[in-house]
Amino acid sequence: MSYLVVIAHPDDEVLGAGATMHKLTQKGHSVNVCILSGDVNARKFRPSTEELNEDVNNSMNILGVDRVITGEFPNIEFNMVPHLRLVQFIEKAIIETGADVIFTHHPADLNNDHLHTSLACQAASRLFQRRSDVKPLKELLFMEVPSSTEWGLNKTMNQFSPNTFIEVGEESVDKKIEALAKYRGVMRDYPHPRSNEAIKGLAAYRGGQAGMVYAEAFESVFRRGF
């Protein structure tokens, strides 16, 4: 199986699905990441572009990711980018990786780039209906990104509502935390949601919800029987 994680910014992929990514690669599946913005300009703790690229590579190596596809869309300005450009970039990544399953942001996330990434990914996920040479997508899932998804305060939008739980075990949670540590300036001290304690606590909580030993939670929004 080929899995594609489509995200707005470097580190979103690990925050949202890092333990699942590690578990999948350990089982021999192909996991690829599509990052729409590699721009560092709006980061509070701002590394250089070269440092950020190094952080991405180091983090993805820990998780066993096959390939990273990076766009140059402006950070925190996706609302200024024509929707079609975002869609077509994601469609190209779907074709190049032969994706069967896609993980992406929830559209009610606080971060505006997450919203536009999700909307574009939803549009791109139906590419197989328009092109017979693209294999049908099996599933599209929204993920939760700590410090963004739980701050989706706009009650006119449906909030993240997990219905899919993937058991990852303590080893994969630890690998997630190790991969996050490779991103300079991302992690914070507890009780920030991007702290080691909060990341592990969330995995324990989601596991407890589903009777699993640590889990990551997702919202499956499109699934074809397989």
Tally the residues of the chain.
226
At residue 38, the pLDDT reads: 86
Whole-prediction pTM? 0.96
**Predicted confidence band of residue 43 (pLDDT cuts 50, 70, 90):** low
CATH of domain 2-223: 3.40.50.10320
At residue 39, the pLDDT reads: 74
* 213-21-125 Cα angle (round to 5): 120
Beta strand pairing status for 215-223 and 139-143? Answer: antiparallel
Q: What is the pLDDT of residues 150-160, one digit of tens each?
A: 999 998 999 99
Structure-derived torsion over alpha carbons of residues 109, 112, 113, 114, reported in degrees to the nearest 10: 10
Range scoring the smallest mean pLDDT among 4-18, 32-46, 72-86, 180-194:
32-46
Cα Rg of the chain (Å, integer): 16
**Predicted confidence band of residue 45 (pLDDT cuts 50, 70, 90):** low
Mean pLDDT of 145-168: 96
184-to-58, 73, 161 alpha-carbon distances in Å:
11, 21, 30
125-to-67, 119, 129, 155 alpha-carbon distances in Å:
19, 10, 9, 26
For the chain, the domains span 2-223
**Predicted confidence band of residue 40 (pLDDT cuts 50, 70, 90):** low
Backbone angles phi, psi at 219, to 5 degrees: -115, 105
